[in-house]
Structure 1
Protein backbone atom coordinates (compact mmCIF):
# COMPACT_ATOMS: atom_id res chain seq x y z
CA UNK A 1 0.00 0.00 0.00
CA UNK A 2 1.14 3.49 -0.79
CA UNK A 3 -1.96 5.47 0.21
CA UNK A 4 -4.42 5.09 3.07
CA UNK A 5 -7.47 7.33 2.73
CA UNK A 6 -9.87 7.86 5.61
CA UNK A 7 -13.25 9.22 4.57
CA UNK A 8 -15.26 11.72 6.57
CA UNK A 9 -16.47 15.30 6.61
CA UNK A 10 -14.29 18.15 7.87
CA UNK A 11 -15.36 20.45 10.65
CA UNK A 12 -16.10 20.25 14.34
CA UNK A 13 -19.83 19.70 13.74
CA UNK A 14 -19.07 16.32 12.06
CA UNK A 15 -16.50 15.05 14.55
CA UNK A 16 -17.65 11.81 16.14
CA UNK A 17 -20.39 11.12 13.58
CA UNK A 18 -20.88 7.71 11.97
CA UNK A 19 -19.77 9.10 8.59
CA UNK A 20 -16.35 9.98 10.05
CA UNK A 21 -15.31 6.42 10.94
CA UNK A 22 -12.63 6.60 8.23
CA UNK A 23 -11.12 9.75 9.75
CA UNK A 24 -11.05 8.04 13.15
CA UNK A 25 -9.27 5.00 11.71
CA UNK A 26 -6.60 7.08 9.96
CA UNK A 27 -6.11 9.25 13.07
CA UNK A 28 -5.37 6.11 15.09
CA UNK A 29 -3.06 4.70 12.43
CA UNK A 30 -1.18 8.02 12.30
CA UNK A 31 -0.77 7.86 16.09
CA UNK A 32 0.53 4.28 15.87
CA UNK A 33 3.01 5.26 13.14
CA UNK A 34 4.06 8.45 15.01
CA UNK A 35 2.88 10.58 12.09
CA UNK A 36 1.20 13.97 12.19
CA UNK A 37 -1.50 14.86 9.67
CA UNK A 38 -1.04 18.38 8.33
CA UNK A 39 -3.04 20.52 5.89
CA UNK A 40 -1.81 20.19 2.30
CA UNK A 41 -3.63 22.59 -0.04
CA UNK A 42 -2.50 20.92 -3.27
CA UNK A 43 -4.11 17.64 -2.11
CA UNK A 44 -7.20 19.29 -0.55
CA UNK A 45 -6.71 17.39 2.69
CA UNK A 46 -4.78 16.52 5.79
CA UNK A 47 -1.72 14.43 4.90
CA UNK A 48 1.18 12.63 6.49
CA UNK A 49 4.07 10.85 4.84
CA UNK A 50 5.55 7.81 6.56
CA UNK A 51 8.59 5.83 5.47
CA UNK A 52 7.73 2.10 5.72
CA UNK A 53 10.35 -0.44 4.60
CA UNK A 54 11.83 1.57 1.71
CA UNK A 55 8.38 2.74 0.60
CA UNK A 56 6.66 6.05 1.17
CA UNK A 57 3.22 5.60 2.68
CA UNK A 58 0.76 8.46 2.52
CA UNK A 59 -2.09 8.98 4.97
CA UNK A 60 -4.88 11.23 3.70
CA UNK A 61 -8.07 12.69 5.12
CA UNK A 62 -9.82 14.66 2.34
CA UNK A 63 -11.14 18.01 3.54
CA UNK A 64 -13.45 18.41 0.53
CA UNK A 65 -16.54 16.89 2.16
CA UNK A 66 -17.54 13.32 1.48
CA UNK A 67 -19.14 13.70 -1.94
CA UNK A 68 -15.96 15.32 -3.36
CA UNK A 69 -13.38 12.98 -1.80
CA UNK A 70 -12.15 11.92 -5.23
CA UNK A 71 -10.71 15.39 -5.88
CA UNK A 72 -8.30 14.95 -2.98
CA UNK A 73 -7.45 11.30 -3.70
CA UNK A 74 -6.87 11.90 -7.43
CA UNK A 75 -4.64 14.92 -6.78
CA UNK A 76 -2.32 12.96 -4.48
CA UNK A 77 -2.34 9.87 -6.71
CA UNK A 78 -1.50 11.85 -9.84
CA UNK A 79 1.32 13.75 -8.14
CA UNK A 80 2.99 10.65 -6.64
CA UNK A 81 1.97 8.21 -9.42
CA UNK A 82 0.05 5.94 -7.07
CA UNK A 83 -2.00 3.23 -8.78
CA UNK A 84 -5.55 2.28 -7.69
CA UNK A 85 -4.44 -1.15 -6.42
CA UNK A 86 -1.98 0.63 -4.07
CA UNK A 87 -4.82 2.50 -2.32
CA UNK A 88 -6.96 1.49 0.63
CA UNK A 89 -10.01 3.62 1.43
CA UNK A 90 -11.37 3.34 4.97
CA UNK A 91 -15.04 4.27 5.26
CA UNK A 92 -18.29 3.81 7.16
CA UNK A 93 -20.52 1.00 5.89
CA UNK A 94 -24.31 0.98 6.30
CA UNK A 95 -24.57 -2.66 5.20
CA UNK A 96 -22.48 -3.94 8.12
CA UNK A 97 -23.60 -3.95 11.74
CA UNK A 98 -21.64 -1.93 14.29
CA UNK A 99 -18.74 -4.08 15.49
CA UNK A 100 -18.02 -5.56 12.05
CA UNK A 101 -15.15 -4.57 9.77
CA UNK A 102 -14.52 -6.08 6.34
CA UNK A 103 -11.75 -5.70 3.81
CA UNK A 104 -12.31 -6.10 0.09
CA UNK A 105 -10.93 -5.05 -3.26
CA UNK A 106 -13.14 -3.51 -5.90
CA UNK A 107 -16.81 -4.33 -6.15
CA UNK A 108 -19.86 -2.14 -5.88
CA UNK A 109 -20.00 1.25 -4.26
CA UNK A 110 -23.12 0.63 -2.17
CA UNK A 111 -24.46 4.14 -2.71
CA UNK A 112 -21.55 5.63 -0.75
CA UNK A 113 -20.97 9.11 -2.17
CA UNK A 114 -17.32 9.23 -1.13
CA UNK A 115 -16.57 5.95 -2.90
CA UNK A 116 -18.57 7.03 -5.96
CA UNK A 117 -16.53 10.21 -6.32
CA UNK A 118 -13.21 8.42 -5.82
CA UNK A 119 -14.13 5.79 -8.43
CA UNK A 120 -15.23 8.51 -10.86
CA UNK A 121 -12.01 10.52 -10.45
CA UNK A 122 -9.73 7.45 -10.64
CA UNK A 123 -11.70 5.94 -13.51
CA UNK A 124 -11.97 2.59 -11.71
CA UNK A 125 -13.53 0.87 -8.71
CA UNK A 126 -10.54 -1.44 -8.39
CA UNK A 127 -9.08 -0.17 -5.12
CA UNK A 128 -9.08 -1.70 -1.64
CA UNK A 129 -11.77 -0.73 0.87
CA UNK A 130 -11.83 -1.25 4.61
CA UNK A 131 -15.48 -1.05 5.56
CA UNK A 132 -16.33 -0.10 9.17
CA UNK A 133 -19.86 -1.20 10.05
CA UNK A 134 -22.20 1.49 11.37
CA UNK A 135 -25.52 -0.28 10.78
CA UNK A 136 -28.53 0.97 8.84
CA UNK A 137 -31.38 3.10 10.20
CA UNK A 138 -33.92 0.81 8.51
CA UNK A 139 -35.40 3.52 6.28
CA UNK A 140 -33.38 4.66 3.27
CA UNK A 141 -34.92 8.13 3.58
CA UNK A 142 -33.31 8.44 7.03
CA UNK A 143 -29.76 7.55 5.88
CA UNK A 144 -28.46 11.12 5.39
CA UNK A 145 -29.47 12.17 8.88
CA UNK A 146 -28.31 8.86 10.39
CA UNK A 147 -24.72 9.01 9.07
CA UNK A 148 -24.31 12.67 10.09
CA UNK A 149 -25.08 11.95 13.76
CA UNK A 150 -22.97 10.27 16.43
CA UNK A 151 -23.68 6.59 17.08
CA UNK A 152 -26.04 5.67 19.91
CA UNK A 153 -24.32 4.90 23.20
CA UNK A 154 -24.73 1.13 22.70
CA UNK A 155 -23.27 1.36 19.15
CA UNK A 156 -20.24 3.53 19.91
CA UNK A 157 -18.18 0.85 21.70
CA UNK A 158 -18.97 -1.65 18.92
CA UNK A 159 -17.78 0.75 16.20
CA UNK A 160 -14.70 1.48 18.29
CA UNK A 161 -14.06 -2.28 18.59
CA UNK A 162 -14.33 -2.72 14.80
CA UNK A 163 -11.86 0.10 14.27
CA UNK A 164 -9.44 -1.40 16.78
CA UNK A 165 -9.74 -4.94 15.40
CA UNK A 166 -9.16 -3.74 11.85
CA UNK A 167 -6.11 -1.72 12.92
CA UNK A 168 -4.61 -4.97 14.20
CA UNK A 169 -4.37 -6.30 10.62
CA UNK A 170 -2.60 -3.16 9.38
CA UNK A 171 0.87 -4.82 9.43
CA UNK A 172 -0.42 -7.48 7.00
CA UNK A 173 -2.03 -4.84 4.76
CA UNK A 174 1.16 -2.75 4.82
CA UNK A 175 3.15 -5.79 3.62
CA UNK A 176 0.71 -6.33 0.77
CA UNK A 177 -0.68 -9.50 2.38
CA UNK A 178 -4.26 -8.30 2.00
CA UNK A 179 -5.73 -11.82 1.58
CA UNK A 180 -4.13 -12.85 4.90
CA UNK A 181 -5.47 -9.63 6.47
CA UNK A 182 -8.95 -10.44 5.12
CA UNK A 183 -8.82 -13.95 6.54
CA UNK A 184 -7.73 -12.72 9.95
CA UNK A 185 -10.23 -9.86 10.03
CA UNK A 186 -13.19 -11.90 8.76
CA UNK A 187 -12.58 -14.97 10.97
CA UNK A 188 -14.52 -14.92 14.21
CA UNK A 189 -12.53 -15.69 17.34
Structure 2
Protein backbone atom coordinates (compact mmCIF):
# COMPACT_ATOMS: atom_id res chain seq x y z
CA UNK A 1 0.00 0.00 0.00
CA UNK A 2 1.51 3.34 -1.08
CA UNK A 3 1.49 6.50 1.05
CA UNK A 4 -1.54 8.04 -0.69
CA UNK A 5 -3.60 4.88 -0.28
CA UNK A 6 -2.52 4.56 3.35
CA UNK A 7 -3.58 8.13 4.10
CA UNK A 8 -6.93 7.57 2.40
CA UNK A 9 -7.45 4.39 4.45
CA UNK A 10 -6.63 6.27 7.65
CA UNK A 11 -9.13 9.00 6.82
CA UNK A 12 -11.88 6.50 6.13
CA UNK A 13 -11.27 4.57 9.35
CA UNK A 14 -11.58 7.76 11.39
CA UNK A 15 -14.95 8.76 9.93
CA UNK A 16 -16.61 7.13 12.94
CA UNK A 17 -14.62 6.97 16.16
CA UNK A 18 -15.62 5.80 19.63
CA UNK A 19 -13.71 7.22 22.59
CA UNK A 20 -14.45 5.07 25.68
CA UNK A 21 -11.01 5.32 27.33
CA UNK A 22 -11.69 8.68 28.98
CA UNK A 23 -14.91 7.36 30.48
CA UNK A 24 -13.04 4.34 31.88
CA UNK A 25 -10.59 6.75 33.49
CA UNK A 26 -13.42 8.90 34.86
CA UNK A 27 -15.30 5.96 36.38
CA UNK A 28 -12.16 4.20 37.60
CA UNK A 29 -12.82 0.84 35.96
CA UNK A 30 -13.26 -0.68 32.51
CA UNK A 31 -16.46 -1.85 30.90
CA UNK A 32 -17.91 -5.11 32.34
CA UNK A 33 -15.61 -4.92 35.39
CA UNK A 34 -17.37 -5.72 38.70
CA UNK A 35 -18.15 -2.62 40.76
CA UNK A 36 -20.56 -1.16 43.29
CA UNK A 37 -20.70 2.16 41.49
CA UNK A 38 -24.29 3.18 40.63
CA UNK A 39 -23.11 5.51 37.86
CA UNK A 40 -23.24 3.09 34.95
CA UNK A 41 -22.69 3.68 31.27
CA UNK A 42 -25.50 5.22 29.25
CA UNK A 43 -24.54 4.49 25.65
CA UNK A 44 -23.09 7.01 23.21
CA UNK A 45 -24.00 10.39 21.78
CA UNK A 46 -23.04 11.30 18.22
CA UNK A 47 -20.95 14.36 17.45
CA UNK A 48 -19.71 15.82 14.17
CA UNK A 49 -16.22 17.28 14.34
CA UNK A 50 -14.41 19.31 11.69
CA UNK A 51 -10.75 18.28 11.33
CA UNK A 52 -7.89 18.88 8.91
CA UNK A 53 -9.10 15.85 6.92
CA UNK A 54 -12.72 16.95 6.73
CA UNK A 55 -15.69 16.07 8.91
CA UNK A 56 -15.66 12.96 11.07
CA UNK A 57 -18.35 11.35 13.17
CA UNK A 58 -17.52 10.70 16.82
CA UNK A 59 -19.35 8.49 19.27
CA UNK A 60 -18.92 10.07 22.72
CA UNK A 61 -19.66 7.77 25.69
CA UNK A 62 -22.11 8.92 28.37
CA UNK A 63 -22.70 8.03 31.99
CA UNK A 64 -26.05 7.98 33.78
CA UNK A 65 -25.47 10.93 36.12
CA UNK A 66 -23.92 13.08 33.33
CA UNK A 67 -20.80 13.78 35.40
CA UNK A 68 -18.42 12.71 32.61
CA UNK A 69 -16.71 15.68 30.91
CA UNK A 70 -14.59 14.64 27.88
CA UNK A 71 -11.21 16.33 27.71
CA UNK A 72 -10.02 15.36 24.23
CA UNK A 73 -13.22 16.55 22.59
CA UNK A 74 -15.15 18.73 25.01
CA UNK A 75 -18.90 19.09 25.16
CA UNK A 76 -20.29 21.45 22.49
CA UNK A 77 -16.91 21.44 20.69
CA UNK A 78 -17.42 21.17 16.93
CA UNK A 79 -13.91 21.74 15.59
CA UNK A 80 -10.25 21.55 16.55
CA UNK A 81 -8.22 24.68 17.30
CA UNK A 82 -6.26 24.16 14.09
CA UNK A 83 -9.43 24.93 12.15
CA UNK A 84 -9.70 28.32 13.87
CA UNK A 85 -6.07 28.96 12.95
CA UNK A 86 -6.83 28.20 9.30
CA UNK A 87 -9.87 30.51 9.34
CA UNK A 88 -7.78 33.34 10.78
CA UNK A 89 -4.99 32.69 8.27
CA UNK A 90 -7.40 32.93 5.33
CA UNK A 91 -9.06 36.00 6.85
CA UNK A 92 -5.67 37.69 7.31
CA UNK A 93 -4.90 37.09 3.64
CA UNK A 94 -7.91 39.20 2.72
CA UNK A 95 -10.40 36.46 1.82
CA UNK A 96 -14.07 37.27 2.27
CA UNK A 97 -16.39 35.20 4.46
CA UNK A 98 -17.96 33.63 1.37
CA UNK A 99 -14.53 32.73 -0.04
CA UNK A 100 -13.50 31.08 3.25
CA UNK A 101 -16.70 29.01 3.30
CA UNK A 102 -16.05 27.87 -0.28
CA UNK A 103 -12.40 27.07 0.51
CA UNK A 104 -13.31 24.82 3.45
CA UNK A 105 -15.88 23.03 1.34
CA UNK A 106 -13.40 22.47 -1.47
CA UNK A 107 -10.37 21.50 0.66
CA UNK A 108 -11.99 19.63 3.56
CA UNK A 109 -15.52 18.86 2.33
CA UNK A 110 -16.63 20.62 5.51
CA UNK A 111 -19.67 22.87 5.74
CA UNK A 112 -18.93 25.87 7.93
CA UNK A 113 -21.23 28.84 8.27
CA UNK A 114 -20.55 32.52 7.82
CA UNK A 115 -21.60 33.06 11.44
CA UNK A 116 -18.89 30.63 12.62
CA UNK A 117 -16.23 32.58 10.75
CA UNK A 118 -17.50 35.79 12.31
CA UNK A 119 -17.36 34.25 15.79
CA UNK A 120 -13.74 33.14 15.28
CA UNK A 121 -12.57 36.51 13.97
CA UNK A 122 -14.58 38.49 16.53
CA UNK A 123 -13.04 36.45 19.36
CA UNK A 124 -9.56 37.46 18.19
CA UNK A 125 -10.59 41.11 17.94
CA UNK A 126 -11.86 40.95 21.53
CA UNK A 127 -8.48 39.59 22.65
CA UNK A 128 -6.72 42.39 20.76
CA UNK A 129 -8.84 45.04 22.49
CA UNK A 130 -8.19 43.40 25.86
CA UNK A 131 -4.44 43.37 25.17
CA UNK A 132 -4.48 47.02 24.09
CA UNK A 133 -6.32 48.00 27.29
CA UNK A 134 -3.99 46.21 29.70
CA UNK A 135 -2.12 48.34 32.26
CA UNK A 136 1.55 49.13 31.60
CA UNK A 137 4.34 50.22 33.92
CA UNK A 138 4.88 53.95 34.30
CA UNK A 139 8.52 53.74 33.17
CA UNK A 140 10.50 51.45 30.86
CA UNK A 141 14.21 52.30 30.97
CA UNK A 142 14.86 50.60 27.63
CA UNK A 143 12.53 50.53 24.62
CA UNK A 144 13.40 48.88 21.31
CA UNK A 145 11.58 49.91 18.13
CA UNK A 146 11.45 47.68 15.09
CA UNK A 147 9.48 47.51 11.87
CA UNK A 148 8.36 44.80 9.50
CA UNK A 149 6.82 45.42 6.08
CA UNK A 150 3.95 43.15 5.10
CA UNK A 151 1.72 42.85 2.07
CA UNK A 152 -1.99 43.34 2.78
CA UNK A 153 -5.16 43.29 0.70
CA UNK A 154 -6.86 46.68 0.59
CA UNK A 155 -9.53 47.83 -1.85
CA UNK A 156 -8.90 44.77 -4.03
CA UNK A 157 -5.20 45.64 -4.28
CA UNK A 158 -2.07 44.25 -2.64
CA UNK A 159 -0.05 47.01 -0.98
CA UNK A 160 2.86 47.27 1.45
CA UNK A 161 2.25 48.44 4.99
CA UNK A 162 4.69 48.91 7.85
CA UNK A 163 3.97 47.32 11.25
CA UNK A 164 5.93 48.91 14.08
CA UNK A 165 6.75 47.00 17.26
CA UNK A 166 7.71 48.54 20.59
CA UNK A 167 9.53 46.13 22.90
CA UNK A 168 10.20 47.45 26.39
CA UNK A 169 12.45 46.27 29.20
CA UNK A 170 10.89 46.93 32.59
CA UNK A 171 12.63 47.73 35.88
CA UNK A 172 12.95 44.00 36.64
CA UNK A 173 14.75 43.37 33.36
CA UNK A 174 11.84 41.54 31.75
CA UNK A 175 10.93 42.19 28.12
CA UNK A 176 7.36 43.12 27.16
CA UNK A 177 5.71 43.83 23.85
CA UNK A 178 4.29 47.27 24.59
CA UNK A 179 2.48 48.16 21.41
CA UNK A 180 2.02 47.46 17.72
CA UNK A 181 0.80 49.98 15.20
CA UNK A 182 0.51 50.19 11.45
CA UNK A 183 1.59 52.83 8.97
CA UNK A 184 1.17 53.17 5.22
CA UNK A 185 4.93 53.22 4.65
CA UNK A 186 8.11 52.65 6.60
CA UNK A 187 9.06 55.98 8.21
CA UNK A 188 12.55 57.45 8.11
CA UNK A 189 12.25 60.07 10.83
CA UNK A 190 11.90 59.41 14.55
CA UNK A 191 8.63 61.34 14.59
CA UNK A 192 7.00 59.00 12.09
CA UNK A 193 8.24 55.95 13.99
CA UNK A 194 7.11 56.73 17.53
CA UNK A 195 3.60 55.89 18.64
CA UNK A 196 1.48 58.84 19.85
CA UNK A 197 0.89 56.86 23.07
CA UNK A 198 4.56 57.07 24.07
CA UNK A 199 6.39 59.84 25.86
CA UNK A 200 10.15 59.68 25.39
CA UNK A 201 12.44 61.47 27.87
CA UNK A 202 16.04 62.30 27.11
Is this a same-fold pair by TM over 0.5? no
Higher relative contact order (CA 8 A, sep 6+): 1
- Structure whose residues are more often strand by fraction: 2
State TM-score, norm by structure 1: 0.21
State TM-score, norm by structure 2: 0.20
